[in-house]
Amino acid sequence: MRPLRIGIVAGEASGDLLGAGLIAAIKTAYPDTVFEGIGGPKMMALGFDSHVPMERLSVMGLFEVLGRLFELLGIRRRLKNYFVKNPPDVFIGIDAPDFTLVLERQLKMAGIKTVHYVSPQIWAWRQGRVKHIVRCADLMLALFPFEKEFYREHGMSVEFVGHPLADQIPFESEKHTPRVDFDLSEKDSVLALLPGSRMSEVGRLTATFLETALWCQRHQPNCKILVAAVNSAVADTIKAELTAYPQLKNVQVISEQARKVMAAADALLVASGTVTLEAMLIKRPMVVAYKVAPLTFKVVSRLVKTDFIALPNLLAECALVPEFIQDEAIPERIGPVLLDYLNHGASCEIQFGKFMEIHKQLAQGASDRAAQAILKLVGR
């Protein structure tokens, strides 16, 4: 039997994580499988051949994309031509729907089986996109349980697989070991800042996050700060921004150890995105803050059909964690909530209990379930 060939495109760090788990699971059954397309370091460490650096796809916001539009269209065109000329057994688009869904549609029309891994938030806004998605993908792999029924109602083949992070992260995350690694004591009051994974997010949020940390230190001088950076380039950007805040003390900028940073902390200030799910699974009290370009916010805010943007709130269907969006994301609003978390961690027991409930719901063996669904699709 000839080896499988699988095309994958992942557009950011969270997609790289999902892709790596999927590659490892498929290789368990079919070790000789060839994987290629676009992926990040975790996928490449498993032998994935990335035609383009994943960072070239990592751009957020309607108007931010316009500055890179011709480059992105060129990358997608080259991928389409390559895969049509060299058809894989299946093509998998991981998240990044504005990029991957069109590519999936083009490849499906060429007779290639297609899968979309991670549903776009169509239940939150632009629900009419579901008709487009049905035309693009033969199979949807959904991370969250409520998504399965939504797609079934629209006649699409869908499999709820759970989330790989829920499988990887233990139900209880201890603080001692990461604190030792960061030269922190058990008695330290620790605030962690996670200002995003995309450079555009980091550029927009870092100043607000550092100003909020300074607000907290002014009210609690012994508070120590950990700042998580997704890679060394982001770390350098944060360090450059940090020079504008000489009065901010006891700050460590830590690259590529976000999970350990969160585990070491008493409270978290996080950008909206997959990191909020990871923070929930680690079960630390958090505040979610986010800003986009004003024009992007003006357009998107009119289209959103949900009251929340943070994944913990969407999954809990209530305001489980505080959200501060756009003009509300200021130190004077965010700081008092974080200070309450730092001083009264025990008051977060209800939040912790709900975090645990959702964790158990999402721990389904996601990578294995996703691999099984894909292999079934291709007749293996």
DSSP string spanning 41-91?
HHHHTTT-EESS-GGGG---SHHHHHTTHHHHHHHHHHHHHHHHHS--SEE
Give me the CATH number covering residue 128: 3.40.50.2000
356 and 368 belong to one structural domain: no
Q: Specify the pairing of strand 34-38 against strand 5-10.
A: parallel
**Rounded (10°) angle between helices 13-29 and 366-377:** 60
- Name every residue whose Cβ is closer than 8 Å to that of residue 21 and which is 6 or more positions away in sequence: 164, 366, 367, 370
**Within 13 A of 8's CA, how many CA atoms are on the CB side?**
34
215 and 234 belong to one structural domain: yes
Q: Which two tokens stand for residue 45?
A: 């460490």
Bridge partners of residue 270, in order along the sequence: 194, 288
Residue 306's nearest CA partner among 48, 51, 123, 79 is 123
Residue 139's nearest CA partner among 317, 294, 380, 371 is 371
User: Taking a C-beta distance cutoff of 8 angstroms, is the pair 4, 26 a contact?
Assistant: yes
According to the model, what pLDDT value does residue 62 have? 46
143 and 35 belong to one structural domain: yes
121 and 211 belong to one structural domain: no
128 and 180 belong to one structural domain: no
| pLDDT band of 70, cuts 50, 70, 90 | confident
Is 167 a member of any domain? no
Bridge partners of residue 92, in order along the sequence: 8, 115
Is 150 a member of any domain? yes
Greater confidence (305 vs 244) lies with 244
According to the model, what pLDDT value does residue 1 have? 80
Q: Across the beta sheet with 5-10, what order do the strands follow?
A: 49-50, 34-38, 5-10, 90-94, 114-117, 139-142, 158-160
Q: Which domain holds residue 312?
A: 176-362
373 and 318 belong to one structural domain: no
Is 169 a member of any domain? no
118 and 13 belong to one structural domain: yes
110 and 142 belong to one structural domain: yes
Mean pLDDT on 292-320: 77
Is 170 a member of any domain? no
Rounded to a whole number, what is the largest CA-CA distance in the chain?
Answer: 67
pLDDT, tens digit, for every residue of 210-249?
Answer: 999 999 999 999 999 999 999 999 999 999 999 999 999 9
134 and 186 belong to one structural domain: no
Q: Which two tokens stand for residue 198?
A: 């995309």
Flag whether pLDDT at 190 surpasses 90: yes
User: Taking a C-beta distance cutoff of 8 angstroms, is the pair 275, 197 a contact?
Assistant: yes
Number of domains the chain is built from? 2
- For 82-232, strand residue ranges (E) read 90-94, 114-117, 139-142, 158-160, 189-194, 223-229
Q: Which residue in this structure is represented by tokens 């033969």?
A: 138
Flag whether pLDDT at 67 surpasses 70: no
334 and 369 belong to one structural domain: no
Is 242 a member of any domain? yes
Q: Which residue in this structure is represented by tokens 């490449």?
A: 44
Mean pLDDT on 302-306: 63
According to the model, what pLDDT value does residue 63 have? 47
According to the model, what pLDDT value does residue 124 have? 57
- Indicate the SS3 state at residue 231: coil
Is 284 a member of any domain? yes
The DSSP code for 347 is G
User: Taking a C-beta distance cutoff of 8 angstroms, is the pair 251, 225 a contact?
Assistant: yes
Distance CA 274, CA 280 (A): 10
According to the model, what pLDDT value does residue 198 have? 83
63 and 196 belong to one structural domain: no
Distance CA 16, CA 22 (A): 10
**Do you know the residue count of the chain?**
380
Is 171 a member of any domain? no
- Name every residue whose Cβ is closer than 8 Å to that of residue 214 and which is 6 or more positions away in sequence: 245, 247, 248, 331
Distance CA 37, CA 236 (A): 28
Distance CA 373, CA 140 (A): 10
Is 312 a member of any domain? yes
Max avg pLDDT among 59-68, 140-149, 260-269: 260-269
Mean pLDDT on 6-24: 94
pLDDT, tens digit, for every residue of 113-131?
Answer: 999 999 987 765 556 678 8
207 and 314 belong to one structural domain: yes
pLDDT, tens digit, for every residue of 333-379?
Answer: 999 999 999 987 655 776 889 999 999 999 999 999 999 999 999 99
According to the model, what pLDDT value does residue 313 have? 92
Flag whether pLDDT at 196 surpasses 70: yes
Distance CA 340, CA 39 (A): 40
